[in-house]
Amino acid sequence: MAKTKLTRVAEKVGKAVGTADRRAHEAVKKAQHASKVAKNELNDIGKELESLKKRLQKATSRMQKALS
């Protein structure tokens, strides 16, 4: 089967579009993973911050009792 020049060009264009589409999907997948990791880290930092706030409040109340 003889391919016309138009068919060959169309194949090349399709291949280029497919490659670009695949790379775009891979980039989106990596970005989604990175955002999930960042979200988990932020949640962990928030929990640690709450723990530190409680410790500070306890220390403050002990200091106030000791000074009064």
For the stretch 6-65, pLDDT in tens is 999 999 999 999 999 999 999 999 999 999 999 999 999 999 999 999 999 999 999 999
pTM score over 0.75: no
As a whole number of angstroms, the distance between CA 36 and CA 42 comes to 10
As a whole number of angstroms, the distance between CA 61 and CA 49 comes to 18
